[in-house]
Structure 1
């Protein structure tokens, strides 16, 4: 049984942008409000939020805007993970002071790190931030896989609240549950949406799906099915989510999947399709193809 308060559907919120490359705070407020209205928790400044591309001067206003729009209805998690550890600590303290539920730390990806380096890094973040900390593994972005032995060394630290794993290695989430599933107040969150139903059925506490930005009502329904133990209904929705994700990504890169996500959100009137450099939006013709595919999959684009 889930043992953590940090559970449910936590949506990694997109960061709306203008054509000039600035954060669109008004659009961010609308997206955050819609997520909270559906009872979905929010993860701002994550991979889906193009966190590495958001100007440092615009991060705090984005977090503040998101918290104000959520208005205490749901939890709000905020990502940290600059190459400079001191900057991550400073940012983490500031986000928690604004009222963030917790900060979510991933590894910096510039230098090759040993497991000992990783452990020391997260300990420094933990001690420096001094508040609720979620550990985050996403090899596709950091080019590092955090060994589960490292997680085991960190899991008992007083401020560590859980582990988000976005690694698709076969058998990994099952081993993670075997090792950490019975720890009180330690959440296990699945960062790969396609594995959401299997991981939740296997004992995980929550899932972090980027598609929740586009389909908040459907992901809220999925969570209700999970809570009720209706795995047939949850699996049916999972199949739809998987098809939508394939339509967004078009078999290419993570960056293209994010461009596809913003394409859908733009069609819904939630934000522009603009991406933050170095990522680029889809061309007009590809956007039209993506929207046609989404409509065929019965995604409400308005």
Structure 2
């Protein structure tokens, strides 16, 4: 399936059983909710997917299970976050064999690579896979920025197609469009900046709170792209306190609590993460509870 690199692509959470195994039953409940809402792809093994805690075998199992669940309705994309170029290439090969149809690739982990090293890292991965690639550009969390000049080099490789734009500088959407036009698809990767990014011309949204609120997320995207800005903005303003939960170091715990509240997930996380407790837990639960009380009715966004 050719990936269009547009629309809403949830960075899904990984579900765990009480005894810390993959919980594919509850995982499928969430995947089906995403498909019913009208998402454009499923992204596995990102930060929200607790990728750093998953074994290689678990990642493979997740890819194969998700491919089976979506039944070609949308593409399945797996995140690559590795410390060495060799391991990243091995991971890409395995993902392709397991049925993934695209890759989201972070820069080298732990080592703060130079611009030249970062370009070489992404380039070697791209040269060693036939899968299309979305570069994850998040200098706030990963301390490496992929600049426009670096993208100029990377886009010489045909299978580098998109960027998950998480610089938190909305103006960067315009800079990328001015420089690369349609050659580079842009997906916002920061929930509280998604509406602004879409209006600036972003093609899609790699979303987090979509894991708990898939219909509202897709509705905002569809309405914004259809020019029904006022309707999209009304939902987005309601959504904003929830979207801010994506900016916390405990974003996984936050979003999993929201999934529990909407009936499409569980709270289980994998150590060293622990479920929220005390005042912080009550604060997050209050945000979720307040939002559910005023949850908006949605228009027939699917037919836009």
TM over 0.5: yes
The residue aligned with 2:250 is 256
Equivalent runs, 1:175-190 vs 2, <5 Å: 175-183=175-183, 186-190=184-188
The unaligned stretches of length 5 or more in structure 2 are: 296-304
Instruction: Output the aligned Cα RMSD.
Output: 2.1
SS of aligned partner of 1:67: helix
Quick check: 1:75 aligned with 2:69? no
Q: Deviations over 1:233-253 (max 9, x none)?
A: 12222222221123x36xxx6
Partner of residue 164, structure 1: 164
How far apart, in 1, do the equivalents of 2:34 and 2:204 lie? 16
So what's the TM-score if we normalise by structure 2? 0.88
Distance in 2 (CA, whole Å) between partners of 1:10 and 1:210 is 9
What corresponds to 1:200 in structure 2? 198
Q: Give the unaligned 5+ runs of structure 1.
A: none
TM-score (norm 1): 0.89
In the alignment, structure 1 residue 91 sits paired with structure 2 residue 91: yes
Counterpart for residue 10 of structure 2? 11
Offset of residue 119 of structure 1: 0.7
| Cα distance in 2, alignment partners of residues 18 and 148 from structure 1 | 43
Q: Distance in 2 between matches of 1:9 and 1:79?
A: 16
* Aligned residues of 1:211 and 1:261 also touching (Cα < 8 A): yes
Match in the other structure for 1:105 = 105
**What is the aligned counterpart of 1:271 among 265, 273, 278?**
265
Q: 2 CA distance for matches of 1:259 and 1:240?
A: 21
Distance 1:80 1:225 in 2: 32
Which deviations, in whole Å up to 9, do the C-alpha atoms of 1:143-187 show, x marking residues without a partner? Answer: 21222211111113121121111111363222122212342xx31
219, 226, 229: which is aligned to 2:224?
A: 226
Mean Cα displacement is larger for which, 262-271 or 228-237? Answer: 262-271
- In the alignment, structure 1 residue 45 sits paired with structure 2 residue 45: yes
Matched residues in 2 for 1:66 and 1:188: separation?
24
Distance 1:292 1:261, change over 3 A: same
Q: CA deviation at 1:100?
A: 2.1
- Residue of structure 2 equivalent to 1:153: 153
- Return 116-125 or 141-150, whichever deviates more: 141-150
Aligned to 2:298: none
CA gap 1:99/1:19 in 2 versus in 1, 3 angstroms = same
Q: Distance in 2 between matches of 1:211 and 1:229?
A: 23
Partner residue of 1:294? 288
